[in-house]
Amino acid sequence: MPLPTPALATLLTAAALAVPAPHALPMGDRITGRAFATRSEVHARHGMAATSQPLATQVAVDTLKRGGSAMDAAIAANAVLGLVEPTGCGIGGDLFAIVWDPKAGELSGYNGSGRSPKSLTRARLLEALGEAGQAKIPAYGPLPVSVPGAVDGWCALHERFGKLPLDEVLAPAIAYANEGAPITELIAYYWGLSVRSRGRFPGFLETFTVDGKAPKAGELFRNPGLATTYARIAAEGRAGFYDGEVAETIGRYMAEAGGFLTADDLRAHRGEWVDPVSVNYRGYDVWELPPNGQGIAALQMLQVLEGYDLASMGFGSEQYLHLFTEAKKLAFADRARFYADPAFAPAPVEELISSEYAARRRAEITERAARAVDAGNPALEEGDTIYLCTADCDGMMVSLIQSNYRGMGSGMTPPGLGFCLQDRGELFDLAEGRPNSYAPEKRPFHTIIPAFMTKDGAPLMAFGVMGGATQPQGHVQIVVNMVDFGMNTQEAGDAPRIVHTGSSQPTGEVMEKGGFVHLESGIAPEVRRGLARRGHVLQQKVGVYGGYQAIRRDPITGVYAGASESRKDGQASGY
């Protein structure tokens, strides 16, 4: 039977956050009786940080205590994560952010994704693939490498929203990189997998192993090369990365490895400020960034689901999980068809997230699982990432996501710099004439997406769910869990998740057999059987359910509530 849920329609009123009596739920926390809670929300007034690694969270909170802004804290934490969680992020990757600016009373968005090399034409790419005996852009090696945009993002965001000098912001990460930091359990596990898959590339083992092996849980890891690179950035800003010795080292290394990324490509890079876009879901505005990222897929799904009374169906019910899956298939068909670098192929964003378009797409859902779904006419499955959020005493809230793609990226590790270059170029479509088709100086389709919620024009919650194509699905589940099923910030992330894989992709793959539904433990056996009767193909999988952080702000008291993912090594903390 589906779990009964509190009859709550709103998110932040006292009634909405009231704890139900222990007898109201058949399972739950020993003290509160709430169904899904690995821990309590963390509450604080002056500042809050939530990241996927405790040392990064503590550095963020320390930065806030020293008078830093939420942005200073976010950059400080991201820099520490580049050392202690290179399995999910690093300055060889890209960055996206949504920021609530309390002075302006509005959200700002930043797209810090890099472009493909200027010299790598489609003809040269196809020639290189042919020489290597490959039919698609590979996951590792020099060919999928695109310009890393993270450092440019740090500097642009810091210039607008920072309070402390950049050298002070990066000082804790530099100290940890020089002195060493202990590696946590889950990160150590994924680190070991990355060493096995990327150890053949020059520079990787020298940078990311201890005596030739991945660091174990609790083992100290030092990265003096990364400390030196961070120190250059601290002293020179973006020029310390995109000009001079770092850029030249990357260019030489890539040329020697048969790659195409050059120092000129790095010098030419600039991210861009973008306007977040939103839909209103039952009175709450949910915000995402427009393509080349996949954020609007979450908005499309919410628009479709708003037409159903999900609260009456109950969390974990067969009907809700069926509708969720079918809405995802529809949104991802459009994702495959339309999402790409808007400088090359602008997507019809306004139409895709409109309620009128959602009504037309909703009408395509039946009681049976769809095996194939076409994109509408509006007038990837793997990846690892870090997501973090911060908030300060002035009311600034930062939702930031950063990644190398495929965990530690391409494996290409320039000597002495302390980081691995990303492999985002794998997400281009090799076919000609489509929005995401490969071209030089083009941004690939991107999976990493930050999110934000507001209500009545006021900031409500910075949140995100990391993990490839899981991300928009996770965003939707967080919103639905809180708005429809009355969960608090921590419960919404702890509740069992559903992930659908096998949809059509921006890289050209087409769903023909309906894909696969993956359900975490906690979903009733009879629900699983019911979904199978509808034609869904259920598949057991671990590790595909993403990782979540969130900070919610009480609009009356200004008190922050932080939540951190129970599936990761992270922590929420405040003061």
Name the token pair of 573.
């903390």
Annotation marks residue 501 as catalytic = no
Query: What is the distance between the alpha carbons of residues 215 and 192, in angstroms, rounded to a whole number?
Result: 8
Number of neighbouring beta carbons within 10 Å of residue 350: 12
CA distance 514 to 17: 38
Contact (Cβ atoms closer than 8 angstroms) between residue 470 and residue 544: yes
Joined together, the tokens standing for residue 525 give 């056996």
Q: Is 215:223 a contact under the CB 8 Å cutoff?
A: no
**What 3-state DSSP class applies to 462?**
strand
- The residue type of 260 is F
- The encoded tokens of residue 150 equal 């993270």
Amino acid present at 488: N
Measured distance CA(528)–CA(355) in Å, rounded: 31
Task: Report the distance separating Cα 437 and Cα 386, nearest Å.
Answer: 27
b/e 83-122 (16+ beta carbons within 10 angstroms → b) = bbbbbbbbbbbbbbbbbbbeeeeebbbbbbbbbbbeebee
- Output the CA torsion sign for 176, 180, 183, 187: positive
Q: Give the CA distances from residue 29 to residues 23, 486, 572, in Å, rounded to whole numbers and listed in that order.
A: 11, 16, 19
**Measured distance CA(479)–CA(305) in Å, rounded:** 11
What are the φ/ψ torsions at residue 194 (nearest 5 degrees)? -65, -40
- Give me the catalytic one of 63, 207, 385, 390: 385
Residues classed as catalytic: 385
